[in-house]
């Protein structure tokens, strides 16, 4: 059973969508609905539905602004609107579907099918990530395995100089000056890396301890083999010194 959340500033539009979804009550149910986007953001910060039905034209926070304010999007997003001019923008925000009001039953049936396929892919991806994490922790300590761009990448830990966070993405900087961008937060990358070799020195950086060229104590940063200067967070300094 899919769990859905609805966000629309018009209560009548919410009622209409709830009624339309009731025709598919064996497959999907509404766990919450909001006409106030701020309340919806609070709810989604603590709950993860399978899908979000989101109106794009709301007076206080537009639908696309709403998506940008979410910390994470671990669910399928379906854009609902009376204006088809938003279709392209919806695709750019990676919505899995776009429903034009008033919503047609056949369109809703197709939409639910897309949500199921989207969630199946997500589950399979999560299973793969767990498998890779187990592989990394139990077998070769000198290599890590990454899932990126639809392929498995096997990296020697000595090839990684440091990793930098960019919101929901992380960039690995390699010894050969190449970069690898992962659709993972730094916390997730940190869980994959062997602790003996790597240390999260700052909220935005993980470094390879074997690639440190110098530690400038009075200025609070390290210099890597690559020449990159990386700040040491004050609250992590003592733990970092213990690692050296």
Determine if the pTM surpasses 0.75. no
Can you name the CATH fold of 140-243?
OB fold (Dihydrolipoamide Acetyltransferase, E2P) (2.40.50)
The two tokens of residue 234 are 């004050």
Instruction: Compute CA distances 166 → 68, 94, 176, 221, whole Å.
Output: 14, 19, 21, 19
Q: What is the DSSP string of 60-94?
A: SS-HHHHHHH-S---SEEEEEES-GGGHHHHHHTT
110 CB contacts (<8 Å, ≥6 apart)?
A: 97
User: Which residues, given as ranges, of the chain have pLDDT below 50?
Assistant: 135, 138-140
Model pLDDT, residue 232: 94
Rounded Cα gap, residues 188 and 83, in angstroms: 38
In CATH, what number does 2-128 get? 3.40.50.2300
Structural domain boundaries of the chain? Answer: 2-128, 140-243
Model pLDDT, residue 56: 86
Model pLDDT, residue 153: 76
Model pLDDT, residue 90: 63
Rounded Cα gap, residues 233 and 211, in angstroms: 18
């Amino acid at each position: 059973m899919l769990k859905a959340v609805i966000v629309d500033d018009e209560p009548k539009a919410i009622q209409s969508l709830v009624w339309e979804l009731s025709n598919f009550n064996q497959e999907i149910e509404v766990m919450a609905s909001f006409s106030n986007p701020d309340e919806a953001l609070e709810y989604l910060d603590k709950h993860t539905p399978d899908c979000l039905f989101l109106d794009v034209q709301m007076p206080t926070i537009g639908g696309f602004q709403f998506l940008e304010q979410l910390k994470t999007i671990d669910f399928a997003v379906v854009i609902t609107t009376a204006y088809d001019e938003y279709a392209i923008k919806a695709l750019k925000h990676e919505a899995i579907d776009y429903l034009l009001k008033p919503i047609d039953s056949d369109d809703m049936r197709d939409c639910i099918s897309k949500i199921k396929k989207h969630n199946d892919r997500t589950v399979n991806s999560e299973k793969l990530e767990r498998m890779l994490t187990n592989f990394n922790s139990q077998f070769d300590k000198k290599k890590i395995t990454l899932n990126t761009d639809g392929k498995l990448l096997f990296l020697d830990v000595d090839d990684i100089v440091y990793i930098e966070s960019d919101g929901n993405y992380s960039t690995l900087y390699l010894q050969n000056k190449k970069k690898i961008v992962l659709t993972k937060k730094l916390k997730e990358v940190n869980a994959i890396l062997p602790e003996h070799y790597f240390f999260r020195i700052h909220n935005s950086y993980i470094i390879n301890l074997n690639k440190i060229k110098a530690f400038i104590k009075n200025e609070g940063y390290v210099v890597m083999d690559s020449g990159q200067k990386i700040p040491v967070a004050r609250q992590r300094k003592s733990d970092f010194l213990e690692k050296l």
